[in-house]
Amino acid sequence: MNNFVYFNPVKVVFGKGSIASLSDLIPKGQKIMLAYGGGSIKQNGVYDQVVKALKGYDVVEFSGIEPNPGYETCMQAVEIVKKEKVEFILAVGGGSVLDGVKFIAAASKFEGGDPWKILSDKAEVKSAMPLGSVITLPATGSEMNAYSVVSKKSTNEKFAFYSPEVFPKFSIIDPEVTFSLPKRQVINGLVDTFVHVVEQYATFNVNSPLQDRQAEAILNTLVEISKDVLNKENDYESRANFFWCATSALNGVISCGVPQDWATHMIGHELTALYGIDHAQSLAIVLPRVWKYNLELKQQKLLQYGRRVFEIDGKDNKKTALKVIKRTEKFFQKLGIKTKLSDYKIDAKDAAEKISERFKTREAKLGEKEQLTYKDIKKILKKC
């Protein structure tokens, strides 16, 4: 196992009725920015629960944080934070709202010029506004980490940043709030969670049996519960288990001391930025091709994963590993997500050209051994 540092100070308040605990979590008397998205929280009752719990606080609202939160939108919020002397930002919504709020929190205190540098140049975040979340979508895991992904609409760019300063002070997870989610978002969340796990797992072996099994614990649970999650209406148990899988997938536990491969996410981000497909759709397309392209490097883990999650075994290692990749793609398809660029009317050649060019400019190297240059990315995308 590799050396590692693990630190995650987020307080998770999980379960039915947990939104009511907001007033125990935010210091009394603070001026709060209540940040949310397109207003779905007004239809599903979450907004009302939050407003009720925040009675007595001085609250300024900021709505309109969009999916793949926009730098431009976030900067409007930063202005309000400064003008209104906001002391605490509460994100209410999915991962996009929370990612936006993390950036708003960092940008509000950034003193190094244009806060876009936090994303484009990985400029250091020395401090940030305190923030918390009521998370409504099991998917990104943003509720229990210090990552954020923000897009610049004007240039079709999408970047991630990390800073311990933007750990939420708390995240409230009430699985009941997912009952009103459109099916597409539930499917996306399942795929996103699954891919988060395998990107920290399907790499090369470093003798980490516990972390392997912790990752497989999430994968097996997702496979086991996905039918109920998708088909049983208002089923608290499957939604609770799903949400805890999503949070656990990206809270740092399974990545302790192991190599990570975020190539699928990195390439996927570009597909989303350029063609507007959903984040999870981009992952379902790219992952099988990244795996196939790095078959030798990942073979041992793919075989273990195949055995322990899908009960696939075989004598020929290469053939078996390919079977495991196919089985994974089929799992995504069975959930109801399409796994080819052509399914979304995107020309693979066009995507390969445009996206590899971007990675060339950035001199980026992707993969668990930084083994993928823009040339490899081009080949991978052509197979998508």
What's the closest the beta carbon of residue 132 comes to its own copies, in angstroms?
13
- Which positions touch its own copies (CB under 8 A)? 1-18, 207-211, 213-214, 216-218, 220-221, 224-225, 237, 240-241, 244-245, 248, 253, 256-257
Q: Which is nearer to its own copies, 198 or 240 (CB)?
A: 240
> Which contiguous run of DSSP H or E holds residue 350?
helix 348-362
What gap in Å lies between CA 54 and CA 24, rounded to an integer?
Answer: 10
DSSP, collapsed to helix, strand or coil, labels residue 297 as helix
What gap in Å lies between CA 150 and CA 68, rounded to an integer?
Answer: 6
Can you list the pairs that 319-322 forms with residues at least 24 positions away whose Cβ atoms lie under 8 Å? 321/295, 322/292, 322/295
What's the closest the beta carbon of residue 3 comes to its own copies, in angstroms?
3
Q: Which is nearer to its own copies, 20 or 54 (CB)?
A: 20
Q: Which is nearer to its own copies, 77 or 135 (CB)?
A: 135
Q: If you write DSSP's letter for every residue of 52-66 in order, what string do you get?
A: HHTTTSEEEEE--PP
What's the closest the beta carbon of residue 207 comes to its own copies, in angstroms?
5
> Which contiguous run of DSSP H or E holds residue 248?
helix 236-249
What gap in Å lies between CA 366 and CA 98, rounded to an integer?
Answer: 26
Q: Which is nearer to its own copies, 140 or 171 (CB)?
A: 171
What's the closest the beta carbon of residue 213 comes to its own copies, in angstroms?
3
What's the closest the beta carbon of residue 7 comes to its own copies, in angstroms?
4
* Residue whose structure tokens are 């196919």: 326
What's the closest the beta carbon of residue 367 comes to its own copies, in angstroms?
23
Q: Which is nearer to its own copies, 309 or 322 (CB)?
A: 309
What's the closest the beta carbon of residue 197 comes to its own copies, in angstroms?
11
Q: Which is nearer to its own copies, 16 or 349 (CB)?
A: 16
* Residue whose structure tokens are 């390969």: 352
What's the closest the beta carbon of residue 179 comes to its own copies, in angstroms?
16
By DSSP bridging, strand 157-162 and strand 88-93 are unpaired
DSSP bridge pairs for 162: 147
Taking alpha carbons only, the member of 330, 337, 381, 335 closest to residue 360 is 381
Q: Which is nearer to its own copies, 1 or 353 (CB)?
A: 1
CB 256 within 8 A of CB 211: yes
Taking alpha carbons only, the member of 143, 139, 100 closest to residue 13 is 143
Q: Which is nearer to its own copies, 99 or 176 (CB)?
A: 176
What gap in Å lies between CA 279 and CA 272, rounded to an integer?
Answer: 6
Query: Which phi and psi (to 5°) does residue 119 adopt?
Result: -90, -50
Q: Which is nearer to its own copies, 69 or 141 (CB)?
A: 141
CB 321 within 8 A of CB 302: yes
CB 149 within 8 A of CB 99: yes
What's the closest the beta carbon of residue 234 comes to its own copies, in angstroms?
15
